[in-house]
Every structure is written in C-alpha cells, then in structure tokens.
Amino acid sequence: MPSYRFCRSDDIPLLVDALNACYAVHFPDEPTLSVADFKREIRELSVWSSSCMVASADCDPIAVVTGAKRERETFIHRIGVRPDFLRQGHARHLLDSLSQKFSILGPPRIVTEVPEGQPAVRDLFEAMGYEAEQQFADFTLPKPLAPPRVADGVSKISLEDLLRYELLDPGESRSWERRLETLQNRKDQLQGLAIASDTRVEAYVLYRDLAVQGRREIVALGTARQRGNRETDAPVLLEIVVRVACQAGALDVTVPKVSAEEIPWADLESMGFRMGRTYTRYAARAQSHTG
C-alpha cells in the first residue's frame, strides 16, 4: 500500500529525489533538480517543506507535490507522479490532503499556474474544483534589439527606489515569480533602469541575469501612465528603457510569465518580443473534505 506524508525541513533530499523521479522525468529537456536548487526555491519562492508531500511505495517515491506559502495564498509549485503510477489517484490524494490541512492552518486560498499543453494537469485541478482566473505568457526576443537612438536620460534604479515611488503593484495580478515578495527575496540579483523626470519615474525595467542558462530575465516593467497617468509618450519611454536593458550581447532576453495587466502583450510584441508558452492560474478555497 502506498504511504503519504507531509514533509519536514530535513526531508529536502527526499523531496529532491521525488521531484526528479516523479516530476522532472516528464520534462526530459529540463535539468534535474539539486538540493541547492530546492534550497534556493525555499529562499526565493517561499517554498515550505511542511507544505510538501511525498507518496511512497516500497520506500521509493511515486508522487510528489510542493507548495510555497505566503500570507494570503499557498501556491502549488510542482506536482508529479512517477510514470508507472499514473492514473491511480495519487495526485488527487495529495491535493486533497493539502486542502484539508490548509482549511485548518491556512491560508485557505490555494493557487497554481498550469502551462499550456498539459491537459491532464488542467483536468486534475478542474476536477478538484479549481477555477481559471488569469493568464500569463512568456515572451522572448527572436533577435537582438537595436539600441535606442537616444538613451541619455536612462539611469540606474533599484527595487527600493521603485517601492519608494509606489510603482510596483503588490496585488495578485502578477504570477508568483513576479510577485513583490519574490522580487524582494531576489533583490540582490536585480538590476534596474529607468527614465525619470523631476517629479517621478516615467518608465522602468528590473532584470536579472542567469549565468548558467545564459539568459537575462526582465522581471518587472512599467510606466507612470500605468499608475493613473495618460501621457502619450509613456510607451516610447518604456521602449527606450527596454532597448537599453536588452543590450546583453549573446544573452537570451525573456519576459517570463507576464500578465497583460502588468504590460499589454501587444506593447511587448510591438517592441519585437514574441509570445511563447502561456499559463493559466487556477484557484480554489481549501476545504476540510474535497470531492
């Protein structure tokens, strides 16, 4: 009989083994997870070992779910079942157990972000009562952007500066990796550029470089117009800042999991970015008994 249990902080090696056997195995083009990777996700994404579960048979992991927890929500970060144990109800049992736990300990709102092309995962969450809420999309540059003709007004800016000017929306319109809490957890990795007037920041970009993958990620971007102003030159100023930020040599530049509320997708496409994979956020309220 399979056994199911919640994890503790000393179960990180077990969770890593379970994720590689039950989750990463479904994505052969992606690198396997290491203990260092998982510890980084704990720091940056607020993954809690106590919000993770492993199912085992004969002492080997057969299914796993990992959860990140913040004040208002729990985020189902990964869920996977070993290929030879698929369609036996293990994933549903893990989600049901988490829901019962969070109905007592909170937070009661549970969310996840399902990539396109995974109908079985989508069907699982819908069968568990999760409802679609919002979409996100990855954008990439298919070719380098030319530098702007004029960039004299572009200067460096920090996450703390953007917070002081109240330019970062702390709400739930952003994906988990673009939330303010994640940016704060990654603040030492972030660089920023902006165009500012005498009274405010007109346009800004925050980004980080991932040396191993050779990629530059734009993790936040916006304009003063998006905070209630309507200057017609705001998109032009933002494009100047983005073009400066994209002068990264051989690095691939991406805007991962961005919502249309953060920046209209058409604006990114007009700059030369191409839409890639999309994601749907699903949400449910924890219940003491799920059907």
Percent of the chain with pLDDT over 90: 78
pLDDT band at 148 (very low <50, low <70, confident <90, very high): confident
Amino acid of residue 150: V
Is residue 66 very low, low, confident or very high in pLDDT (cuts 50, 70, 90)?
very high
- Name the residue type at position 115: P
| Residue 38 φ then ψ, to 5° | -65, -40
Confidence at residue 15, expressed as pLDDT on a 0 to 100 scale: 98
Residues 3-29 have a mean pLDDT of 95
Calculate what percentage of the chain has a pLDDT beyond 70.
94
Terminal-to-terminal C-alpha distance of the chain? 22
Can you list the domains of the chain with their CATH numbers? 3-135+280-285 (3.40.630.30), 142-272 (3.40.630.30)
**pLDDT in the model for residue 224:** 80
Is the pLDDT score of 226 beyond 60?
no
- Report pLDDT for 146: 85
Average pLDDT in the chain: 92
Task: Decide which of 170 and 279 is more confident.
Answer: 279
Q: For helices 90-105 and 119-127, give the axis angle rounded to 10 degrees.
A: 50
Q: Is the pLDDT of residue 98 over 70?
A: yes
pLDDT band with cut points at 50, 70 and 90 for residue 193: very high
How far apart CA 95 and CA 81 sit, in angstroms, is 12
Model confidence at 51, pLDDT cuts 50, 70, 90, reads very high
Candidate from 27-41, 57-71, 101-115, 243-257 with smallest mean pLDDT? 243-257
Q: Could you read off the pLDDT of 255-265 as tens digits, one per residue?
A: 999 999 999 99
Closest residue by Cα to residue 54 from 28, 88, 21, 87: 21
Does residue 142 surpass a pLDDT of 80? Answer: yes
Please say if the pLDDT value at position 229 is more than 80. Answer: no
Q: What confidence category does residue 168 fall into, taking pLDDT thresholds of 50, 70 and 90?
A: confident
- Residue 113 to residues 66, 121, 136, 264, Cα–Cα distance (Å): 13, 10, 9, 19
Q: Which of 128-137, 141-150, 232-241 has the highest mean pLDDT?
A: 128-137
What is the SS3 assignment for 80? Answer: strand
187: confidence class by pLDDT, cuts 50, 70, 90? very high
What is the pLDDT confidence band of residue 228, given thresholds at 50, 70 and 90?
low
Over residues 175-191, mean pLDDT: 96
- The residue-averaged pLDDT of 57-75 equals 96
214 — pLDDT class (breaks 50, 70, 90): confident
